[in-house]
Structure 1
Amino acid sequence: MRKNLLLAVFSGLLLWIAWPPTSYTTFFLFVGLVPMLMAMENIIQSNSSKKGRLVFATTFIGFFVWNTLCIYWVYNSLKIIGPVAAIPVTLIPYSLGPLLMAGACWLYYRMRVATSRGWALAALVCFWIAYEYLHQSWELNFPWMTLGNGFAVSHKWIQWYEYTGVYGGTVWIWACNILLYLLYLGLREAQSKQQRLKLISAFVLVLLLPLGLSLSRYYNYEEEISPSGIVVVQPNIDPYTKFNVPPYEEISTLTKLSDSAALPNTEYFIWPETAISEDINEDAFSGTPQFNQVKQFLVKHKNGNLLTGISTYKIYNDAHTPTAQQLSGSSQFYDRFNAAVNIQNGEKLQFYHKSKLVPGAELMPFGSALSFLKPVFEHLGGSSGGYGSQNEPDVFYSQSGVGADPVICYETIWGNWVAQSVKKGAQFIAIITNDGWWENTSGKDQHFDYAKLRAIENRRWVARSANTGISGFINQRGDVVQQSGWWVRAALRQNINLNSRLTFYTQHGDYLPYTAIILACVGGVWILLSSFRRRKA
């Protein structure tokens, strides 16, 4: 038991070392799961009567080590509720992912009981991808640790994400680890030299073929020349005090920074999430002092559009959305939104409501069951009843017809969501965020690095504006062309190339996990039927 536990922990440490933002160690992803597979094999081959429980518990501990070391920074964003009270709340993201990962490994064990090792390992990959898709789809979503995200700092290796998305990276990692694991078993079980040579050849092919194709694509990829001038602004306002800053003062800081980098042909100014932080009625926004202040700024930039984060609300005469709450002392209802708005020289306004909401701070998952946590989440600056959202992504269009994909903070890690907006006509991706909640930790770096994956999947430039964090520009190959420092005020100017062509992934989205889920369901049925046959016998 101790040996298997050490193997699982070692696996977790290898995966942590390989994870962004660590550089030059990404290759550990190709071996990091081998000790975990060895530990599971030892348990399966043991005489224990509780093999399933041991597989689940052992793998959970290993994956808990990996997750906790990679996303330790979650604790920083929760310290506002108190360092002691933050600990149990932090355990939710630390533990939930490992529980699901361990569940996939437990299903692998059940598959090993029902069929051969080869089929069980193939099923493990499907079970794992099904878990990853579940963890980006349900109300406790947190797809931060999807295996394919691990290549964000080695983006030259995964240019083929334009065909597969991050799930292609998950398959690649598992395929390499499984082949090395089978090679280890071949040595342990004294397989023939010919069989071992076949495994070595398969591993080399699986490792080097995607890598070679990617490097070739990277060095031969050429962007279509279609320039557009963009300015991203980082006002660097402390997120824990920003809502105490007078709106006029905040907008004044943003306009001064924007003016410092503007050129006559600047087409988009991009301000961060909740840059306009005072709750504003969307239907009356054009009559507010904040709107007039922005319009005065845009008068100097005739071609300019402002894409900015904003806190808004809408009032209804009835509760026609699941998140609508009743106004105190009134028969009316309202929704609050973490939103983005596109403002131009004219009367046209375009709003987008953040749709991938942070569980807890912006969305009360499984509302009634977790209602006891509402006071905690209110302290995080969120809405105890949940923010409103919209069902589909959107595209903002400038006066000249340039399409921008407004991506608000957490939405950065949903490849398929961003792809849907690009498919609708977005020619570049505008990410607005506020990463200062995590302080100067690797959380802000990981979040920035993940944006490279969206650039590659869709072959679109990314313009990223962070209130505090890292602002910058990423080209269509995933290269960081410019970036700001941490905790500094900055305004960055860049001519980006717009792109209207659609990649295979943009057109077809998450077809890999859909396929894996179907196969995982087949595997689950096989497990049930095999169990039924054994009991009957």
Structure 2
Amino acid sequence: MKKNLLLAIFSGLLLWLAWPPTQYITFFLFVGLVPMLLAMENIIQSTSTKKGKQIFATTFLGCFVWNALSVYWVYNSIKTIGAVIAIPITLIPYSLGPLLMATACWLYFRLRVATNRTVGLVGLVCFWIAYEYLHQTWALAFPWMTLGNGFATSHQWVQWYEYTGVYGGTVWIWLMNILIFLFYISLREAQTTTYRKKIIIAFFLVLILPVGFSLVRYYSYQEQMNPSNVVIAQPNIDPYAKEFSIPVHQQLGILTHLSDSIGQKNTEYFLWPETAIPDPFVEEKVLANASYQQARQFLNKYKNGNIITGAETYKIYNNDATETASPMEGGQYFDQFNAAVTIENSDNVQFYHKSKLVPGVESIPFSSLSFLKPVFAHLGGATGSYGWQLEPAVFYTQSGIGSDPVICYESIWGDYVGKAVLKGAQFIAIITNDGWFGNSTGKDQHLDYAKLRAIETRRWVCQSANTGISAFINQRGDVVKHTNWWVRTAIKQDINLNSDLTFYVKHGDYLAKLGMFLALLGMIWILVRVRYKK
């Protein structure tokens, strides 16, 4: 048992070493799961009577090591609310992901017992993809550790994500690890030389063909010239003190000064970070808001200029309130939003309400369940939970340019970003406040993942972060220009707008849905076999 636990821990360490923002050893992803596969094989071949429990515990340990070391920074972003609350919330990404991963491995064991090794390994890939898809769609979603994200620092290898999205990377990683595992097992079980040769041939084909195609695509890809000048402001205001230490008009003064310092007559977009307008306002009364008027006045000298900025906004309902709305005096209700706002040289103001909310911090998971309503009623209904919108939005300028406003960690949902592109977005505008992560790898991972969105959609990505890292990413996933951490600055770039649609944008996470379907078939087969044995 101790040997198997050590193998699982070794897997966790290999995957962590390969994970962004680490560079040059991404190839560890191709071998990182092999020790865990060997540990499961040892347990399956043992005489133990509790094999299922051992596989679950062993794989959970390895996955916990990988997750905890890779996203340790989560605790930094929530520790200010107090250890009593922060510690259990931190356990969501630290433990929930590994629990789901271990469940996928346990299902592999059950299918393996019911069929054979080959079918079991195919099922393992499907169960794993099903876990990843579940972990990006349910109320406790946190798809940060989707295996395909691991190639974010080696994006030249995965230019084919424009066809598959990150789930293609998940399948690729599992195939490579499984082939190495099978080769090792063939030596241990003294299988035929012919069988081993087939595995070796398959290994090199699975390795060389995707990489070869990707490199050819990377070096031959040419952007269509359709320039638009964009300015990104990084105000570098401490997120833990911004609402109290600096008056709102002064914060906006910093943003307008930074933007004006490098703005051009032909600048079409000024991108400001998440919650750059920190004083909450009612959306219906935005034209009378002092912050809006200050931003609008700045645009007077930029005829074609548009500001995309983050803001805290409210909506008030007399009736037909949403499930996230909180009561007010007089029988009214209100919703609070983490919003993106576009301001232009007219009275037209467009709003987008962040959809992918952080569980436990921005939203209360499963609060709509009837048996939980009395619990949340004692907390004032949905107080502390933001409202949201179900579908992505596209901001359009008066000239017809479409942009996709993406708030914070929404940028790790490839399918969601792709839906905005399908609606007409010609570039992606990420507004974030990565200062909550501290000077950790969290901010670097966030930027690295944005490179994958550029490849999937073949759109420029412009990221404005309050305290860094802000950047421009081209359609191949290259970071063309970026800021440093904790620096007050602004950068500008002529980006190329694109209206062409990739295969992935048109079809979304089809691989994940296929994997989910096959996983359900595998679980049904397991249940049928168990029933038959009884």
| Fold-level similarity (TM above 0.5) | yes
Q: Is the 8 A contact 1:230 1:494 kept in 2?
A: yes
| Matching of residue 55 in structure 1 with residue 55 in structure 2 | yes
Q: What is the rounded CA distance, in whole Å, between the counterparts of 2:238 and 2:92 in structure 1? A: 26
Task: Give percent identity, aligned residues only.
Answer: 64
Equivalent pairs, count: 529
Tell me the amino acid that sits aligned with residue 305 of structure 1.
N
Deviations 1:175-228 (A, max 9, x none): 000010000100100111111111011011001110000000000000000000
Q: Distance in 1 between matches of 2:521 and 2:276?
A: 48
After superposition, the C-alpha distances for 1:467-525 in whole angstroms (9 at most, x for unaligned) are 11200100000000000000001111000000000000000001001111111111011
Kept after mapping to 2: 8 A contact 1:364/1:384: no
CA RMSD of aligned residues (A): 1.6
Counterpart in 2 of 1:332? 332
- Give the Cα separation in 2 of the matches to 1:371 and 1:300: 51
**Number of the residue aligned with 1:531:** 530
- Written as runs of structure 1 = structure 2, the 5 A alignment for 1:28-39 is 28-39=28-39
Distance 1:437 1:416 in 2: 25
What is the SS of the residue equivalent to 1:493?
Answer: strand
- The residue type equivalent to 1:484 in the other structure is T
Residue pairs, 1:98-247, within 5 angstroms: 98-244=98-244, 245-247=246-248
AA at the equivalent of 2:430: I
Which residue of 1 is the match for residue 77 of structure 2? Answer: 77
Gaps of 5+ in 2: none
Q: In the TM superposition, what is the alpha-carbon distance from 1:162 to its structure 2 partner? A: 0.1
**Deviations 1:328-379, CA, capped at 9 Å, x for gaps:** x22001100000111100111111110011111111002277789989x99x
Which secondary structure state, in structure 1, belongs to the residue aligned with residue 491 of structure 2? Answer: strand
- Asked whether the 8 Å contact 2:473–2:479 carries over to 1, the reply is yes
Secondary structure, aligned partner of 2:153: coil
Contact 2:89–2:360 (Cα < 8 Å) also in 1: no
Q: Match for residue 302 of structure 2?
A: 301
Matches within 5 A, 1:411-430: 411-430=410-429
Partner of 1:10: 10
1:420-469: CA deviations, max 9, x gaps? 00000000000000000110000000001000000000000001000112
Question: In structure 1, the residue corresponding to 2:477 is in which secondary structure?
Answer: coil
Letter in 1 for 2:215: L
State the SS of the aligned residue for 1:505.
helix
Letter in 1 for 2:398: Q
Q: Which residue of 1 aligns with 2:408?
A: 409
The Cα shift of 1:320 comes to 2.8
Q: Distance in 1 between matches of 2:504 and 2:180?
A: 29
CA distance in 1, matches of 2:308, 2:162: 26
Q: Please give the secondary structure, in 2, of the residue aligned with 1:20.
A: coil
Give the superposition deviation at 1:89.
2.9
The one-letter code matched in structure 2 to 1:429 is: I
Q: 1:283-362 to 2 correspondence within 5 Å?
A: 283-327=284-328, 329-362=329-362
2-structure distance, mates of 1:253, 1:373: 43
Report if the CA contact (8 A) 2:326-2:383 is conserved: no
Residue 86 of structure 1 deviates from its aligned partner by 3.0
Q: Distance in 2 between matches of 1:302 and 1:532?
A: 71
Match for 2:218: what amino acid?
Answer: Y
Q: Counterpart in 2 of 1:451?
A: 450
Corresponding position of 1:514: 513
Separation in 1, partners of 2:281, 2:251: 15
Residue 265 of structure 1 contacts residue 303 of structure 1 at CA under 8 Å; is this kept in 2?
Answer: yes
Give me the TM-score of the superposition, normalised by structure 1.
0.96
- For 1:417 and 1:58, the matched residues in 2 are separated by 34
Distance of aligned partners of 1:64 and 1:50 in 2 relative to their CA distance in 1, 3 Å threshold: same
Query: Aligned partners of 2:275 and 2:91: how far apart in 1?
Result: 28
For residues 230-256 of structure 1, what are the alpha-carbon distances to aligned partners after superposition, in whole Å with 9 as ceiling and x for unaligned?
001100000001111321011100000
Instruction: State the alpha-carbon separation in 1 of the partners of residues 414 and 142 from structure 2.
Output: 13
| Change in 2 beyond 3 A, CA 1:374/1:24 | farther
- The 3 A distance-change label for structure 1 pair 372 and 166 is farther
State the match for 1:490 in structure 2: 489
Residue 466 of structure 1: aligned partner? 465
**Which letter maps to 2:436?**
W
Going from structure 1 to structure 2, the CA distance change for 1:33 and 1:144 (only over 3 Å counts) comes to same
Equivalent residue letter for 1:275: A
The letter of the residue matching 2:18 is A
**TM-superposed deviation, 1:7:** 0.3
d(CA) in 2 for partners of 1:37, 1:371: 43
Report the counterpart of residue 248 of structure 1 in structure 2: 249
Q: Please give the TM-score of this superposition, normalised by the length of structure 2.
A: 0.97
Q: Distance in 2 between matches of 1:21 and 1:257?
A: 29
**Residue 361 of structure 2 aligns to a residue in which SS?**
coil
Give per-residue Cα distances to partners, 1:88-146, cap 9 Å, x unaligned: 33122100000000000000000011001001100100000000000000110000000
- In the alignment, what sits opposite 2:20? 20
Corresponding residue of 2:438: 439
5+ unaligned residues in a row in structure 1: which ranges?
A: none
Read off the aligned partner of 1:169 and give its amino acid letter: G
Question: 2 CA distance for matches of 1:319 and 1:129?
Answer: 38
SS at match of 2:53: helix
**What letter corresponds to residue 401 of structure 1 in structure 2?**
G
User: Counterpart of 1:270?
Assistant: 271
The structural deviation recorded for 1:83 is 4.7
Greater shift after overlay, 228-237 or 318-327? 318-327
Write the distance in 2 (CA, Å) between the matches of 1:466 and 1:362. Answer: 19
**What is the deviation of 1:316?**
0.5
Using the TM superposition, give the Cα deviation of residue 325 of structure 1 relative to its aligned residue in structure 2, in angstroms.
Answer: 1.0
